[in-house]
Structure 1
Amino acid sequence: MSRYSVSFQLYSSRLFPPVPPQLNYLKSVGYDSVELWPQTYESDPAGFRRALDDSGLTCSGMHMPLAGLVSEPRRWFDLAHMVGTDTLIPPYVPQAERRPTADFWRSVGERLRTGAELARPEGLKVAWHNHDFEYVRLEDSSRPIDHLLDAAGANVDFEIDIGWVVRGWADPATELRRYADRITMIQLKDTATAGTELDEGWTPTGDGIIDWPSLYPLFDATRAKLLVVEHDNPTDWKVLAKRSIDYIRLLVG
């Protein structure tokens, strides 16, 4: 599939256990890998790895708590080795912890920087994954995402979630250009028009309002070789997986 491989974020199918049949289905419709969230692998990483190997998929990365990156890195590094990934992806700052200041968001970036420094000798790398709140402007009109990535430094990669960029009222084309040298993974999350209640307003890739054909030419300027499908609450995860990868195949040729 062109220069890109395609991964499925298993958070999307969390409400439809068990996991092994999901892996087999994803392989059958053409996915190369899966991206993990902690409840997928944390309790039984060896068992998950066996199921993953049996399916023929690989692990493209694992989402993990930001706090664990610096408070108990050994535990998370070992988990990464067990599930077979080299990419740790803190994806979130809980709302209760967020502060609307540049200093706070720089402190988040500094924690990522520290984590990346600890991870490097392990053969591991760290990437940030955005939501919409990193694009909400602070009182001085600056943006959390810019403070965070600047403080994190060049050794921290960026998994850009296009759907959340759009919901944060930012322009995804501008963001793809701005952080081309940091982006190593692109989540092709799609969203319906504002106010849509079905599936919390998320859609399979290609079924929403995002103009993917206009964005796709910008992908090649980034460092990304991985495209990721995600949907926060699909009614039917199999429909999501199949429609999304079929569309991505058409998009990237």
Structure 2
Amino acid sequence: MIKTTSRRTFVKAAASGLAASFLEIPSMNASPLNLPIGLQLYTVGQEMDTDPAGTLQAVAAAGYTQVELSPLTKTSAKDLKKMLDDAGLKNPSGHYILPDLISTLHEKTHQFGQEFMVVTVPWVADPSRFKPDPQLGQIGVFIAIIKGLTLDDWKWNAEQFNKLGEQINKAGLQLAYHNHNFEWKSYGGVTGYDEFLRLTDSRLVKLELDCGWATVAGQDPVALLTKYPERYSLLHIKDFRKGFTPRTTLMDKDPGAPVPTELGRGAIDYGRIFAAAQKAPIRALFVEQEPPFTEMPALEAIKVDYEYMKNLKS
């Protein structure tokens, strides 16, 4: 179980590890942005649950030199830090759940020297107003909240992000938000994403653009990078098979629902996305492939993803 620490202790300790995370000189594994090719560990979540040390060694053997932590990891911070070090993997960013950051800041983050603390889903002031499916566990809570978000909820989230971002920013750290597709649901002509960006301080709250989910929502990542270049600091690189129907809902089962696939085998043209990203201050990027893995196991899929990234030209 991860112990908790005070905000003051957390931010001072976290700042001390920042330099090492981003001073690595890009080498043969550099992406089209001349950044190391990273992996979001959610991609190998099942493997991390059963054999975290072996999985991280396999990630490194595939060519990746840095990873982004998933909020669903079951390994203690102390053990995970040692496993990352043993595998030679840097960890400049991690995913977190907003209520965890509001209530307490975990020891986990400052142990890794992360620069970016990325929130993956919005929250609400009173979660009890939702009735999640108990069979889905924690994911059911997220799904219920996502489906029931109002524009006022997005305004509340913006306020929370600004407050938290200021605390984190004072220590030289950076808060960011990672999109899925539901952010572009329209509320009388206004999307949650636009409202969130309008109300958050661009200095305190950066963005991790998940290019795959944005595309599923019917958005063009190139247009987003062009419209808000100063907001984007991180990229998620994923693909979906051609032929999906754009949508702002998750976990759909209809014939037009998006189906994940390996990079280069789907609908998304990353050459033009990386060309647009040249104008944004991108600090790190992470491959993330959504389950299920239907063509090959996850540890094989990440090799295909890595080779695509290594050979891609913007």
By the TM > 0.5 criterion, same fold?
yes
Distance 1:13 1:129 in 2: 19
- Matched ranges for 1:1-253 at <5 A: 1=30, 3-16=34-47, 17-40=50-73, 44-72=76-104, 75-76=105-106, 78-93=107-122, 94-98=142-146, 99-139=148-188, 141-154=189-202, 155-193=204-242, 194=244, 201-235=259-293, 236-252=297-313
Q: What is the CA-CA distance between 1:3 and the residue it aligns to?
A: 2.1
Q: What is the CA-CA distance between 1:207 and the residue it aligns to?
A: 1.2
Please list the CA deviations of residues 121-159 of structure 1 after superposition, one character each: whole Å capped at 9, or x if unmatched: 3332111000100012112x1111111122221121100
Distance 2:192 2:170 in 1: 29
Q: What is the CA-CA distance between 1:6 and the residue it aligns to?
A: 1.5
Number of residue equivalences: 247
Conserved 8 A contact 1:70-1:114: no
Conserved 8 A contact 1:200-1:233: no
Which consecutive unaligned segments of at least 5 residues does structure 2 have?
1-29, 123-141, 246-253
Letter in 1 for 2:67: V
SS in 2 for 1:209: coil
Conserved 8 A contact 1:35-1:60: yes
CA RMSD of aligned residues (A): 2.1
Which consecutive unaligned segments of at least 5 residues does structure 1 have?
none
Q: What is the CA-CA distance between 1:84 and the residue it aligns to?
A: 2.6
Please list the CA deviations of residues 90-134 of structure 1 after superposition, one character each: whole Å capped at 9, or x if unmatched: 101334334554332121111111111111233321110001000
Distance 1:6 1:39 in 2: 22
Which is richer in helix? 1
SS in 2 for 1:88: strand
Q: What is the CA-CA distance between 1:38 and the residue it aligns to?
A: 2.1
Q: What is the CA-CA distance between 1:39 and the residue it aligns to?
A: 2.8
Letter in 1 for 2:42: Y
Distance 2:258 2:45 in 1: 15
Conserved 8 A contact 2:234-2:284: yes
Distance 1:234 1:55 in 2: 26
Conserved 8 A contact 1:3-1:225: no
SS in 2 for 1:122: coil
Distance 1:216 1:122 in 2: 30
Conserved 8 A contact 1:165-1:172: yes
> Sequence identity, in percent?
25
Q: State TM-score, norm by structure 1.
A: 0.90
